[in-house]
Amino acid sequence: MKKISILAFLFAGMLSFSSCESDRDSNPVLQEPTEFVLNTPAYVNTTYDLANSTSIELTCSQPDFGFTAPAVYAVQVALDQSFENYIQLDTKYSTAKMNVDAKELAVALTNLYVANGKTEADFPLQTKTYIRLVAELNSATSTIASITSNVIELPVVRVEFALPPVLLPETVYVVGNHNGWNWGNSLPATLVWGTDNMWWRMTYLDGGWKFNSATEWNGSEVGYDGVAEIIDNANANISRSDDGNIVTNNPGWYLLVFTAEVVGRDVKYKVAINKPEVWMIGDVTGVDWQDRAAGWQLEVPTTADGEFVSPAFAAAASADNGVRVYCPIEGHDPWHSEFMVFDGSIKYRGTGGDQDRVTAAAGQKLYLNFSTDKGEIK
């Protein structure tokens, strides 16, 4: 019995020793690599013409993380060897041989030069380009370890301007205290007829606000510091909040007019904050087509959800001329910023042609809710 017990103990020990060895094999220890070499390309002394190339081949050693692991490689590019300012390309690679897209490299170099004050007129350029790699070992949620390679120099790289043109926005949306800072509650501004860079919007403002060309927080929203000029024509008492919002200290309705201009690689805005004037013109006024005829301005509501209400129509609106209404824009004719109610909704002319005509009887009134873009004649 004693012999059997000893043999059993020895057998258990052997199993334990074997288990430890197996455990070490299946649970390798991570180590920080100390060497990671980016090789100098074979054709380094030729001219790399990015506009007429599809890719540049880079190769590197594989960093030793202590065990076989699938490293991810990223390419970083700079204009000088210090890499004080650099751009990391979006494309990632999973092998130690990578074909770097020439167009992606050209975009990065163009951005670096634009940041240094170059303009499109300065291109094409022949430049030295410096490249390094970053190798990362990643888990499902984070980077476990990384190492940066040496820097290589490409002595002659020809770069043409590779950035897309800066375009004016299609419209502008306002978000702020007045609509709960909810882009979903923001309505688009309307282009002034005959322009491609001027929009208007009747808006109730109460405290802070910003604007953007999209209904989202995408980094392009414009606050106080992003506006080249704010013109307060309506005693709105504009100021800047600590977090950079435009602040309207006198709550109420305002006619906002946005003017945009492309300057270099930026869109610069000017914002005019005007009185909330809405005017009738034409048949219903009984005074023909006089601009801002006395007595024909709509009554302005005092609340955000209130309605603008016209005087009772002095005469019927014919099928030829219809009911006509507009918000005045400095330097423009009334029809450049006119609109009308169709099936209960406000429709803006913008840069389009004549709108359909809406008839009305004498004594009726026009009701407009600019918070919802709804309206009616009754």
Asked if 187 and 154 sit in the same domain, the reply is no
State the DSSP code for 81.
Answer: T
Q: Is residue 256 one of the residues assigned to a domain?
A: yes
pLDDT more than 90, % of the chain: 84
Q: Is residue 11 one of the residues assigned to a domain?
A: no
Asked if 270 and 281 sit in the same domain, the reply is no
Asked if 57 and 151 sit in the same domain, the reply is yes
Question: Last residue of some domain: 274, 297, 323?
Answer: 274
Pair 334, 326: CB distance under 8 Å:
yes
Instruction: State residue 20's pLDDT score.
Output: 45
Q: Is residue 206 one of the residues assigned to a domain?
A: yes
**Residue segments in the chain with a per-residue pLDDT below the cut of 50:** 1-25
Instruction: State residue 27's pLDDT score.
Output: 63
Instruction: State residue 191's pLDDT score.
Output: 98
Give me the CATH number covering residue 306: 2.60.40.3610
Q: Is residue 24 one of the residues assigned to a domain?
A: no
Question: Last residue of some domain: 253, 274, 295?
Answer: 274
Total count of domains within the chain: 3
Asked if 187 and 247 sit in the same domain, the reply is yes
Instruction: State residue 241's pLDDT score.
Output: 97
Q: Is residue 68 one of the residues assigned to a domain?
A: yes
Asked if 53 and 145 sit in the same domain, the reply is yes
Print burial letters for 236-271: b (CB count within 10 Å at least 16), e (below 16): bebeeeeeebbbbeebbbbbbbbbbeeeeeebebbb
- Domain carrying residue 58: 48-159
Instruction: State residue 310's pLDDT score.
Output: 98
Asked if 270 and 287 sit in the same domain, the reply is no
Calculate the CA dihedral of residues 352, 358, 363, 368 and round it to 10 degrees. -50
User: What would the pLDDT profile of 152-203 be if each residue is shown by its tens digit?
Assistant: 999 999 999 999 999 999 999 999 999 999 999 999 999 999 999 999 999 9
User: What would the pLDDT profile of 200-251 be if each residue is shown by its tens digit?
Assistant: 999 999 999 999 999 999 999 999 999 999 999 999 999 999 999 999 999 9
Count CB-CB contacts under 10 A for residue 166: 11
Asked if 306 and 264 sit in the same domain, the reply is no
Asked if 147 and 248 sit in the same domain, the reply is no
